[in-house]
Chain A
Amino acid sequence: MREDLKEAINLSIQKILPFLLSLLFIFCTYIPSGVSVSHVIRPDVGMICVFYWVLHRPDLFNLFTVFFLGFVSDILSSAPLGSDIIAYLTIYLVITNLSSFFVNKSFQAFWYGFGFVLVLVEFLKWLIVSIFYTEFLPLERLLFTILFTIAWYPVVSFFNDAARKYLMNDEG
């Protein structure tokens, strides 16, 4: 009985591991670093995680997980509530329709693919938030954020890869 319970708990943790890892990454980006410009340009690691897990393990990263992650990201950031949810859901929508394109592709292809999707989604978010404030927000910061996020993709993917391998080993 105790073994069964232990296994059930283990299974539940495995199911939410991608979500917990994504949350951890998002939380880490809000730690005050004291580095110049860190308070205005930060990598959007939530987008990297949504892209990665929806592509590799959609069974563990469903629509509602994406929604909740977007909600957490909205709460942590000061952007209008709902803007990150829309951005993450758009990634989900794009990836679920383009997943066949990424089958058996190299890491570089994933990276380029992410760059393409990120540019699309960040500009959509910029447009929505600009409409919200009825004023166009500066584009330079957005471009730096996009470049910064693309540069962080291999680092975040490295940890996500490790978690995915751990899950695969555990599932046998």
Chain B
Amino acid sequence: MKRRRALFVHLSRIRLMVKKFAIVLLFFIAFVMMLFNKTDSFFIDKTSSVAANIFFPIVDLLAVPARVVSGTLNYFYDFKNIREENKKLREENRELVIRSSRVTALEIENHLLSNLLNYVPPEGASYSAARVVAEEGDSFSHALIIYTAGNKTVKKGQIVLSDNGVVGRIERVGSVYSKVILITDINSKIPVMIENSRVRGILSGDNTSVPKLIFTPLEADLRVGDKIITSGVAGIFPPGLPVGKISAIENGVIKIKPLGDLDRLEYVRIVDYHLADISYEEDIAQAVDLGE
């Protein structure tokens, strides 16, 4: 009897040790995963991609009732504001007609000047639309998952737009779903310039809702309200896409308010700039060098 009790105590001690060892082992695996993640390992990328293709269809399915409710509410909301919106659109249209004639004149002038300088224009961009499946943002990251099944033109590094402007870039391309890093995410770096002064810089996300503008010349004349557009430096994005406006300049830190509505995205547009297959990070490093 005494021997059996001793054996039982011994076994429970072993079990406790195994449990403790398992905890340590699992913590170790988690840290190793983080290390692999830091080095942009192909293995981690592949695992994330495969797992995302398993889990996101479930989120997509669960989102159906939410989309129906939100669509119905939006329908009634739009109906309520339709008269006011109509009036606003008519005014806008009047202004645009005037501006359109000016743009045509400028286009002709531009064409003539380009011919004069033997200027070769960059290849035109094409656009494709994608539905937002999940919002991945939290305190530690800002991202979206979009449905891109069947779209062969989607590539890592391509820029993503909303109705109002740039919202992010493609970070990972899967067979069904792709991940978009928002411009507010800490990993986001986009070459931009001030629309009027043409001062260049890099828009750098910092996980707040207002990313920073970095690598701008010290003597640059920057003002709150200045519009920021993509610069097209390094040839990864088309130039001239609207990004945001300077919202504050405090202690040398320039904060940009994005024009794209990052919290109400249902559909986005992906810009295919017919890139050669070059690493996005290399291009940004090149753009940073140019900015400096």
Contacts and interface: CB of A to CB of B under 8 A. Distances in A.
Main secondary structure of the interface of A (DSSP, over half): helix
B207 A30 contact: no
Interface in B18-51: 19, 22-23, 26-27, 29-34, 36-38, 44, 47-48, 51
B139 A78 contact: no
Interface stretch (A1-9, A10-18, A35-43, A106-114): A35-43
Contacts of A93: 23
A128 B31 CA distance: 10
B186 A135 contact: yes
Contacts of B38: 80, 132
A77 interface: yes
Interface stretch (A48-56, A83-91, A151-159): A83-91
B136 interface: yes
B138 A42 contact: yes
A83 B34 contact: yes
Nearest to B63: A31
Contacts of A126: 139-140
A81 B34 contact: yes
Contacts of A70: 30
Kindly list the 8 A-B residue pairs having the minimum CB-CB distance in the complex, ordered from nearest: A78-B141, A82-B33, A78-B143, A82-B34, A79-B140, A85-B30, A39-B137, A82-B30
Interface of B: 19, 22-23, 26-27, 29-34, 36-38, 44, 47-48, 51-52, 55-56, 58-59, 62-63, 66, 70, 132-145, 179, 181-182, 184-187, 206-209, 262-266
Interface of A: 24, 27-28, 30-42, 44, 63-64, 67, 70-72, 74-83, 85-86, 89, 92-93, 122, 125-126, 128-129, 132-133, 135, 137-138, 140-142, 144-145
